[in-house]
Structures are given as structure tokens and as C-alpha cells.
Chain A
């Protein structure tokens, strides 16, 4: 190790979040750079490219105030590392990993490269453990399992924060006492939004199980590139070295992607779709793939990124590339929200790809997959009919159609809608599902096996009538 690091004062160019240093010797690609401004302020950067003696550096805290005359630069010879320790639980850091909770510095147990390394697919174990979130649209129709990466696709002004906080509060694996530890990373969200989460954690006494990294709206944008990596590095340490079950909430990924775009633009790279860099898919995957479960380790990382879809457009590159990497998505709908429905989860475009392994007889209930499929197809049909009614009027509908229409209305009111602290068991969710399905003619329940109809359909259950009347 070189003990004496050479200091350069040869900054020749500053452009956007980038700065160029000339005459550099022995600096490595990707390494951490310490920068000292003429005001003596300290900043950090990372080498993005080296061409002979010329190094391109991205400056995390922004380049404001950096001058070409007196700025001093040192190449540390190391990739960016985060000091990690168990005592990070219950602590709050800024977007670069400095404590901001007025408590002492962390005494590190280890230092970890924030970029992590890809998990070997042969070391992974396919996630199958059902997480009950107490939310019907999730547990019943888009089941989350431990070790999954499942984002919330939202829009500005929708209730994604409430939903995420509710999930964090209620998530549990049935039959296990152990709760999730939460690693929370904020990228460019407002102070109010961040404090909503922190207060919610505090209110439920969960704060000592939370580690937060906060880059807020008024913090430097480029910092957002490292904030989620700090969070995931911490999560990996907790999960795979300390054996914890970690839930990582990353919000708002849209701000992260904007920062990525800003760097690409500053480097005058050939842009990909809608101005976002062509490597955004790869870049996002180096975050999202840091979730999972391993054969030889007890802990797990479950990821719940939140992103706001610009213009509510799911084909926008940010939700699009995310959906191509994550294992499904919860999509929030402005239409449901306007109609006062919470949580406004639109089940049709929502998906949990790992659902099939996490449900069924031993995990939830034997009829779960069938009920979910049937709810999907019935609701889709009801929604189509709603559009039809808008054109031809309800009179043109057949009797059967009318029942599907009633089904989808009540589905939104009774199945989708629930209180912000309503924690429904999976049995309760399936029971509501059956109650709604019984609106439909039995012969239309094609997705459900005959034996399950006998076993669970309210019409075949004794005393079922009274029970549903009470509701």
C-alpha cells in the first residue's frame, strides 16, 4: 500500500457533475477520489474513465465551487468502501453514509466495496417463503416471498409511501417470530416524505430495526448514484454475514435514474431511449439483483424499490427497464386513487413472478392459485364490460354480464380497499375472494378445480350465508 498519496492540482475542466484531471499517474479505474476545494471543503468522487494521464471523475456532492486553479485531488487507490457494523441498525445516515443523527461515528466491523459482486446462481436458493403483508391485493393475487425484488410503480401524489410503510410494518413470515430489519434509502425525495417514513417507523417502535440513508431533494443529485449502493451493501452485510432478514426500501428510483442521465449527458454519450443512457438496464440490474436468498446463509434480502412513473406511463424507460429486471411489480392506479380507493393497486398490470412457489397447501392454502387466477380473469372481464356499458348502456348486457359488472365493482370496494392499518390474514383475504366469486354463475368459475368449489364456495359451506350477511 502506498502510504503517501500524491496530490494533484491539475484540474483542467469542470462540466456538470464531472471534472477532468490531467497528468495523473497510477490511478485506477473506478477508484475513490478525495477532493479538497479551495475553501477546504472535502468532497468525494469516482474515476469514470482514464485515458493515459487524463482522468474523468464524477463528483458525488456536485462540482459547484470546484475551480481549476486551487482544487486538490488525491486518488485513494481503493474502490469506494463502506464501513459496516451491526450497530448501524437504528441509525440514520446521509446519502454518502455520514451519520446525521447526532450520534457517534460507527466503529466498523468491516469495510465493503459498495458495488458488491454478482451472486453466483449456483449459490442462490429459489425464494419460496410466503410473506404475509396483510394486504389482500398483494397476499391474495401478487404474493411476495422472502428474497424477492418487487417494486411499486407509482405516480406523483399517489399513496405509495403509505403502502410501503404499511408493508414494512405488517410483513411477516407465518410461524416465525422474527421481524424484518429495514434498510431504507431515500433518493431525492422531500423532507416531508422522508419524515413520514421515519415517524412511521418511530410510531411502531421499529426504529431500532431500521437503518436509513437519506439523500433528500435538496441534496446533491450525483450522490444518488451511491446512496442505494450504500443501502444494499449494508443489507448484504446484515443478511449474509449477520443472518438477518432484511427488507430494503429504495425510493424514489426515478430520481436515481435522472442522476444517471445527468452523468451520461455530461459525458456526451450517445443516449439510448428518451435520453437515458443505453446501459441503464445493466446499471439498474447491479442494484436490483442484490436481492435474494442463498443456500448456505440464513439471511435474506427482499427488495422493494419505489418509482414514480413519469406521466403515469408504464412504458417509460424507468419503469420499463425496472420491470425487465425485477420479479414483478405492484402498479398503483390514479383512477382508483381518484375514486378514493386505498391501496390503489391495479391488479391487472401487477404481477409477482415468484408467487407460484410461495403459495399452495403447505404455504398458504390449496385453493390459493385457483382463486387468484379466477379473480384476475373475472375482474378483467368486468372491467371490459364497464367500458362496453359506457358505450351501449347497461340494458344491452346479458344477465351474466351484469353479474360480472357487479363483481368488479364489489371487488374494488371489498377486496382492494382496506384500512391503512388493516392487517388481513391470508385466510381472510381468500374468504373475501370467495364471497365475491360467489356473485358469479358457478359454471363461470372455470379456473377453479371442482373439488375446491365444493370445499370453499360459500354456497357449499354450512352457515356461510349468515356469516356473509353480517359483513
Chain B
């Protein structure tokens, strides 16, 4: 191995001499404490290294030792339910070693070497297998059966396979006869984080990733295998949105990357998820979740790593044929980490000091999302959906990270401080946001819920659009000056905004709304509008309509439990009929 020595230390970046023979992105050990670093620039003898731990106390002359390998993660049973730091060290284990505060230099394996997993083979001696083929299964948690796969680049004939039983991840379970001889396979694999895991083919997303959040599912849907960005100023609701997605999205596996954000937000997930039930499986949410935490005060270089660590773990479960969703909160902190490191390298700064490669790094990251046919002869499909929070300085979306992200992602959920200020949550601006998956997911809605879904949604959007135009007039002349039909548009739009779009993440029932309920709620609102509009055209005053008691009932629908709302809607429709009929009786001569 290459052995060099430190010549310069500037924050998280050190320079070492005598490093000839090293490779770009090779992992090195730095100094007496053998801190973990990664080579990010190489020139002759000299390597520039970003160090994933605090560099205080490092001295010129300290030893730098190459490892020969690129920064990699460990893949195998035991990932789920874990909380890792940015370079995949289990935080629970770190705590056992250094106590309540994280000290540096801790060396712990990512996956337990002693824990035994119950392995059941699905291949037998003589079978021909290729990369990605499933060799056996392990019930990793109550909800996820871990597929032990032939590693990428390996294929051959099964010479021997372990019997069903309990094994550690390092024990060999299958021996293959390959072209070059024999290959032994255990349940533990390693994969370099900066390289996307291979698949056979990318497919277009067609199925929505449902989250039970009305504004997402109905108005700006995300598809399984798709990408979304949530930019917004501080306190607008990025983290709450990401947590809601992590809780309620109908994915099989969730990878949540807390990148440069608050410690308490990770603690919150750790406290909450084991006690929350997945609506799909009825099992605790933690059973399908992996957490990566590089909080804002942890070493900045590891922030960069945390994003890649998360993506690689997510791809691994995608390869097993699962629908995986990855949340990254916040990608801006990752971009800032790139900027800080780039600044220390004295690279030529691009816009606002970010390195020129910011755009390509973001694109490469989101490109790892997708619905794919995985490696393996069974043609199984898996998907990786990515949702990135963006934290633009001053809430100004024209800055480089937001702009470069929007160029890649297909869904834009635009958070808006003025909505948050008035506690309109989720404070997503319905006029600015968009989804490019509308057409892709329409068949699903049409088949599973109703063929009217698209029409309903578009009609609602049109009302909201009309409202914003009318509001400009109201600003000049007051609402009283509007004709009755337009006042009804305001009422209907207000209903959609307050009673449909607003959704309280902390309300026991409102926190999750099934697609069926979403559709029925909106359907009722539009029906209300149509009936009301019809009544007004028959000279019934808008004032009488906006005073109808059913409006209050519609507003409370969101708090009606899933198993009661259908009956409730029937009831409301009946009441609405009666109320309108009595207005007709009052005003319209027969």
C-alpha cells in the first residue's frame, strides 16, 4: 500500500506527499488516529484528501496510508432499522464506544459480523446463474425479505449451496464455478458509493408513488422511479414534507438521508418510526427504513459521502425488486459541502462560489433514480424514487442549487413562506408547482380510482387559477363589487385551498388520506361548485349559498376516518340537495 505523509492541513482538506501509486477516490487513513479520508485530487506525488472527521491536532509529517479501495458501503442483511453516519458507521455503535458525544477515530463495521441470519437457498447445485440472480432469501425484518444476489459481474454454475439455516454475513453460502475458476459468495457485498449499481434497462415510470398527502398525490403526483424537488425557505415545511413521505409513501423501503440538518430531526424519526404503523403492512415503519445522519455540526466532508451512501443502499434494495424511496434533506447542504471543499482546493469558482461541476454532480445523483429491470434472469422490476429538499438562501429560487436541480427533477413542489406564515400547511404554492408525471400516472388513477380523476384535478386547478386573477381585482375594488358567479369561484377556490390542500401532518387522521378519499373529497367540492353555480345562474344570491351549513360539513371531511368517509359523503350530498332545494323554493318561481 502507498504510504505518504501530510504536508498541509486546511480544515477538512489535507495534502499529502509521497502518494504516487494512489487512485482518485481511494480511501486513505490519515494520522495517528487513522482518520478516514478520500483522495479527491491527484498530481504526481501529491494527493489532496478530504477527511471525514475533525482534523484538529493533525501535523505535517503525519502518516497517510492508502487502502487500495474506493469509498464503499457494505451491503447485506442488517441495513434496515439502522441509523448510520455519512460514511456508514452505525451511530448506536459509536455511542457505545465514545458516549453521548461523537469522538473521532472510531472504527466499527457497518454490518454486524456476529449476528446470524436465517438463510433459505432458492438455487441448487448445477443451476446456472448470472449477475443479479437470487441465490436465497433472508427475512431481514418483519416486512422485508432480503434477496441475496449474485454480485454484478459474476456468473457461473452453482457448485455448492448452504443448507437452510443461520449464518453470519461473512460465511460463504454459495460456491460458483466461473470462467476463471471458483467464486465464493457470502451475504456481504461491497460497492463503491460513487458508482451507480448496474441494472438491465431503464423503464418509464407509470405508477404513482402515493403518499397520502393530497397536494402531492392529486395535484402534483410523483411516480415510482421519479424525481422531485422541494425547495423552500427555512421553516416552510421541507422536513415535515420529507418526514410525511418517509412515513406514508407506499414504497417498500425508505432511505432517509439527513444531510447537514438538525440532530433533533433525526432523533424525532428514531423516536417516532418504531411506534408508527405502516398503513400498508400494519408493521412499524422502522422495519422498512434506513437512516443516514450527517448533522450540520458533523464533519463537512462526510456530508458529501452521506448522499452517495444513501443512494447506494437504496439501489441495492431496488435491485432486489423493491420500490425504494430516498429522501435527501437537504441537498443544498451537500452542495455547500462541495463548495467548501472546492474552495479549499482553490478551484475556479462558478456561480455564487459553487464549483463548476455542481450541475453535473446533481444530475448524476438524480440519474440514479428510475424504474428499472434489475440484473438477473427473472426480469424483476424495481424502482428508486428520489425526493430532494433544497434550501435556497433567502428563499430565492433563482440561486444555482435550486435552478440546477429543477433542470433535472420532474416534480417541483414549491414551498412558499407567505403560506407558512399564515399556517397554510403544507405550504406548497399551487400555482408555481408542477408535475411532469400527470400523463404517466393518469392510467393508474383511471383504473384504480376513477376515470374522472384528471378532469376533476384540472377543473380544480382552473378554479384556483381563476381565483388568483379575481383576487387582483378584489385588491382594487373589494369583494362586494364582484358579480355573484365570480364570488362563487372565490368560495369554491377557498374550499379547495383550505379544506383540500391544507393538510395537518400532526393530526391523527388528517396526516394520511387515501387516494380514494382524496378523490371523493375533491369530487364533492366540485359537485358543490357546479350545483352552486347552477343555482346562482337561476338568480339565487351567492350570499345565501356561501351561508349553507353543508360548507362546514365539507370542511370537516378531512377529519373523518377512512372507514367512515363514504357514508359521510352520502349524507353531505343529501343535505346539500335539500339546502339547495329550499333556496330554489325561496327564490325561484315555478
Binds B, one of A49-57, A87-95, A420-428: A49-57
The docked-state distance in angstroms from the alpha carbon of A285 to that of B234 is 14
Interface bits A262-287 vs B (CB < 8 Å: 1, else 0): 00000001111100001101100110
Inter-chain contacts of A122 with B (CB < 8 A):
83, 91-92, 95, 267, 270
State which residues 1-56 of B face A: CB under 8 Å.
7-11, 15, 54-56
A-B pairs with beta carbons under 8 Å apart, 7 shown: A49-B10, A50-B10, A119-B102, A119-B263, A272-B353, A282-B340, A349-B417
State which residues 337-395 of B face A: CB under 8 Å.
339-340, 343, 349, 352-353, 391, 393-395
State whether A388 and B423 are in contact (beta carbons under 8 Å apart), knowing that A52-B7, A122-B91, A446-B555 are contacts in the complex: no
The docked-state distance in angstroms from the alpha carbon of A398 to that of B543 is 11
Are A285 and B296 within 8 A (Cβ)?
yes
Distance (Å) between the CB of A118 and the closest chain B CB?
Answer: 5
State whether A124 and B480 are in contact (beta carbons under 8 Å apart), knowing that A49-B10, A273-B352, A296-B100 are contacts in the complex: no
Are A325 and B296 within 8 A (Cβ)?
yes
Distance (Å) between the CB of A182 and the closest chain B CB?
Answer: 22
Are B296 and A29 within 8 A (Cβ)?
no
Interface residues of A (CB under 8 A from B): 26-31, 48-53, 79, 115-127, 240, 269-273, 278-279, 281-282, 285-286, 289-290, 292, 294, 296-297, 315-317, 320-321, 323-325, 327-329, 348-349, 351, 353-354, 356, 369, 373, 376-377, 380-381, 388, 391-392, 396-398, 401, 443, 446, 449-450
Are B393 and A31 within 8 A (Cβ)?
no
Are B100 and A119 within 8 A (Cβ)?
yes
State whether A348 and B263 are in contact (beta carbons under 8 Å apart), knowing that A50-B9, A297-B100, A396-B481 are contacts in the complex: no
The docked-state distance in angstroms from the alpha carbon of A356 to that of B240 is 12
Distance (Å) between the CB of A10 and the closest chain B CB?
Answer: 16
Q: With an 8 A cutoff between CB atoms, is B60 at the interface?
A: yes
Inter-chain contacts of B10 with A (CB < 8 A):
29, 48-51
State whether A50 and B56 are in contact (beta carbons under 8 Å apart), knowing that A278-B336, A380-B421 are contacts in the complex: no
Q: Name the contact of A281 in the complex, choosing from B266, B333, B474 (C-beta under 8 A).
A: B333
Interface bits B397-431 vs A (CB < 8 Å: 1, else 0): 00000000000000000000100111110000000
Q: Name the contact of B340 in the complex, choosing from A48, A79, A279, A380 (C-beta under 8 A).
A: A279
Q: With an 8 A cutoff between CB atoms, is B293 at the interface?
A: yes
Are A392 and B476 within 8 A (Cβ)?
yes
Closest 10 CB pairs of A and B: A396-B478, A315-B394, A380-B422, A285-B296, A30-B56, A323-B234, A123-B100, A29-B9, A121-B266, A117-B101
The docked-state distance in angstroms from the alpha carbon of A380 to that of B498 is 14
Are A278 and B343 within 8 A (Cβ)?
yes
Q: With an 8 A cutoff between CB atoms, is B475 at the interface?
A: yes
Given contacts A272-B353, A401-B479, 10 further A-B contacts (CB under 8 A): A28-B56, A52-B8, A117-B103, A119-B101, A120-B91, A120-B95, A126-B271, A377-B422, A377-B423, A392-B478
State which residues 285-315 of B face A: CB under 8 Å.
293, 295-298, 300
Distance (Å) between the CB of B86 and the closest chain A CB?
Answer: 12
State whether A30 and B95 are in contact (beta carbons under 8 Å apart), knowing that A294-B100, A391-B475 are contacts in the complex: no
Q: Name the contact of A289 in the complex, choosing from B61, B263, B394, B481 (C-beta under 8 A).
A: B263
The docked-state distance in angstroms from the alpha carbon of A391 to that of B8 is 64
Inter-chain contacts of A446 with B (CB < 8 A):
498, 552, 555
State whether A50 and B60 are in contact (beta carbons under 8 Å apart), knowing that A126-B264, A289-B297, A398-B480 are contacts in the complex: yes
CB nearest neighbor in A for B56: A30
Q: With an 8 A cutoff between CB atoms, is B58 at the interface?
A: yes
Are A120 and B101 within 8 A (Cβ)?
yes
Are A289 and B59 within 8 A (Cβ)?
no
Q: Name the contact of A353 in the complex, choosing from B8, B54, B235, B349 (C-beta under 8 A).
A: B235
Q: Name the contact of A292 in the complex, choosing from B235, B264, B298, B417 (C-beta under 8 A).
A: B264
The docked-state distance in angstroms from the alpha carbon of A392 to that of B472 is 13
State which residues 436-462 of B face A: CB under 8 Å.
none
The docked-state distance in angstroms from the alpha carbon of A454 to that of B18 is 78
Interface residues of B (CB under 8 A from A): 7-11, 15, 54-61, 83, 91-92, 94-95, 98-103, 233-235, 260, 262-264, 266-268, 270-271, 293, 295-298, 300, 333, 336, 339-340, 343, 349, 352-353, 391, 393-396, 417, 420-424, 474-481, 498, 506, 552, 555-556, 559
Inter-chain contacts of B395 with A (CB < 8 A):
315
Are B297 and A118 within 8 A (Cβ)?
yes
Inter-chain contacts of B271 with A (CB < 8 A):
125-126
Q: Name the contact of B59 in the complex, choosing from A26, A121, A126 (C-beta under 8 A).
A: A26
Interface centre among B11, B57, B266, B270 (most CB of A within 10 A): B57
Distance (Å) between the CB of A374 and the closest chain B CB?
Answer: 9
Inter-chain contacts of B339 with A (CB < 8 A):
272, 278
Distance (Å) between the CB of B94 and the closest chain A CB?
Answer: 6
Inter-chain contacts of A349 with B (CB < 8 A):
417, 421
Are A325 and B8 within 8 A (Cβ)?
no
Distance (Å) between the CB of B414 and the closest chain A CB?
Answer: 17
Are A398 and B479 within 8 A (Cβ)?
yes
Inter-chain contacts of B59 with A (CB < 8 A):
26-29, 50
Are B8 and A270 within 8 A (Cβ)?
no
Inter-chain contacts of B99 with A (CB < 8 A):
120, 123
Are A270 and B235 within 8 A (Cβ)?
no
State whether A120 and B94 are in contact (beta carbons under 8 Å apart), knowing that A315-B396, A328-B235, A373-B423 are contacts in the complex: yes
Interface centre among B8, B92, B297 (most CB of A within 10 A): B297
Are B421 and A278 within 8 A (Cβ)?
no
Are B267 and A282 within 8 A (Cβ)?
no
Are A120 and B100 within 8 A (Cβ)?
yes
The docked-state distance in angstroms from the alpha carbon of A391 to that of B15 is 64
State whether A28 and B297 are in contact (beta carbons under 8 Å apart), knowing that A317-B393, A349-B421 are contacts in the complex: no
The docked-state distance in angstroms from the alpha carbon of A443 to that of B271 is 37
Inter-chain contacts of B83 with A (CB < 8 A):
121-122
The docked-state distance in angstroms from the alpha carbon of A383 to that of B92 is 49
Are A396 and B477 within 8 A (Cβ)?
yes
Inter-chain contacts of B478 with A (CB < 8 A):
388, 392, 396-397
Are A120 and B102 within 8 A (Cβ)?
yes
The docked-state distance in angstroms from the alpha carbon of A270 to that of B346 is 9
The docked-state distance in angstroms from the alpha carbon of A219 to that of B296 is 30
Inter-chain contacts of A278 with B (CB < 8 A):
336, 339-340, 343, 353
Inter-chain contacts of B61 with A (CB < 8 A):
26
Are B56 and A115 within 8 A (Cβ)?
yes
Distance (Å) between the CB of A54 and the closest chain B CB?
Answer: 9
Inter-chain contacts of A126 with B (CB < 8 A):
264, 267-268, 271
Distance (Å) between the CB of A100 and the closest chain B CB?
Answer: 28
Distance (Å) between the CB of A279 and the closest chain B CB?
Answer: 5
The docked-state distance in angstroms from the alpha carbon of A117 to that of B299 is 10
Are B263 and A121 within 8 A (Cβ)?
yes
Inter-chain contacts of B92 with A (CB < 8 A):
122
Inter-chain contacts of A28 with B (CB < 8 A):
56-59
Q: Name the contact of B295 in the complex, choosing from A118, A315, A316 (C-beta under 8 A).
A: A118
The docked-state distance in angstroms from the alpha carbon of A281 to that of B339 is 12
Are A240 and B235 within 8 A (Cβ)?
no
Distance (Å) between the CB of A464 and the closest chain B CB?
Answer: 23
State whether A325 and B7 are in contact (beta carbons under 8 Å apart), knowing that A31-B56, A398-B480 are contacts in the complex: no
Distance (Å) between the CB of A250 and the closest chain B CB?
Answer: 15
Are A388 and B475 within 8 A (Cβ)?
yes
State whether A240 and B555 are in contact (beta carbons under 8 Å apart), knowing that A315-B396, A323-B234, A351-B235 are contacts in the complex: no
CB nearest neighbor in A for B299: A118
Are A320 and B393 within 8 A (Cβ)?
yes
Are B552 and A121 within 8 A (Cβ)?
no
Inter-chain contacts of B559 with A (CB < 8 A):
449
Are B396 and A289 within 8 A (Cβ)?
no
Distance (Å) between the CB of A96 and the closest chain B CB?
Answer: 19
Are B57 and A327 within 8 A (Cβ)?
no
CB nearest neighbor in A for B62: A28
The docked-state distance in angstroms from the alpha carbon of A294 to that of B394 is 32
Inter-chain contacts of B270 with A (CB < 8 A):
121-122
Inter-chain contacts of A290 with B (CB < 8 A):
297
Are A29 and B55 within 8 A (Cβ)?
yes
Distance (Å) between the CB of A310 and the closest chain B CB?
Answer: 13
Inter-chain contacts of B555 with A (CB < 8 A):
446
